[in-house]
Amino acid sequence: MKQIADQFEEALGILQKFNNEANYKLIESAGNLMVASIANNGKIISCGNGGSMCDAMHFAEELTGRYRNDRPGIAALSISDPSHLSCVANDYGYDFVFSRFIESVGQPGDVLLGISTSGNSKNVINAIEAARKKGMKVVGLTGKDGGKMANMCDVEIRAPHSEYADRAQEIHIKVIHSLIGHIEAALR
């Protein structure tokens, strides 16, 4: 039982470190970039690896589907189609699975949400570089010290340092839900 309680205490501590006005302002800034894109017929494209891909998918489905209230769908895509990923990984290498998608469908004014608990995932970094070439804005969800992504994003939202990626992912999903709530409220 102690091991279970320790998990919750550690998670609570990380959340308490993150819970401050500076981070609220970052989330608001990121949400405002997304709202501006949507208001101008843009879209939000999200990507990440492993659990971060699941977060990217969850973000997109809550926007295209429904979060808490009925509303029109919002243009959002996660780069997670298995045939796209395997095709590009086979033909170009896994480092290019996200950037190739951005090159194909990204447009000026769109927003990329790149998720990496280390901030150093090469394929997410390549997606950011491709997004910049397309005139897109970039929001990054990172952890640890922000990695290479820290200086590449219009808005970087960093989970407090933890030894394990799952703690960063727990912050990321809360940020994602906060972003969706902000977007929905702004578009009412």
The pLDDT tens digits of the residues spanning 38-91 come to 999 999 999 999 999 999 999 999 999 999 989 999 999 999 999 999 999 999
Residue 101 three-state SS: helix
The arithmetic mean of pLDDT across residues 99-122, rounded, is 98
Mean per-residue pLDDT over the chain, rounded:
97
Does the pLDDT of residue 161 top 80, yes or no? Answer: no
DSSP per residue, 38-61: HHTT--EEEE-STHHHHHHHHHHH
Tokens standing for residue 41:
């017929």
pTM above 0.85, yes or no: yes
Cβ contact 118:146 at 8 Å: no
164 confidence band (pLDDT: 50, 70, 90): confident
- ∠ CA 99-101-104, nearest 5°, is 110
Q: Which domain holds residue 72?
A: 2-186
Q: What is the pLDDT of residue 21?
A: 98
Question: Per residue in 69-95, is it b (16+ CB within 10 Å) or e — as a string?
Answer: eeeeebebbbbbeeeebeebeeeeeeb
> What's the CA gap between 15 and 186, in Å, rounded?
25
CA atoms within 13 A on the CB side of 118: 8
Cβ contact 131:152 at 8 Å: no
> What's the CA gap between 99 and 129, in Å, rounded?
8
Domains of the chain: total:
1
> What's the CA gap between 144 and 163, in Å, rounded?
8
What CATH number does the domain containing 22 carry? 3.40.50.10490
DSSP state of 94: G
The arithmetic mean of pLDDT across residues 9-18, rounded, is 94
Q: What is the pLDDT of residue 177?
A: 98
14 confidence band (pLDDT: 50, 70, 90): very high
DSSP per residue, 127-181: HHHHHHHTT-EEEEEE-TT-GGGGGT-SEEEEPPP-SSHHHHHHHHHHHHHHHHH
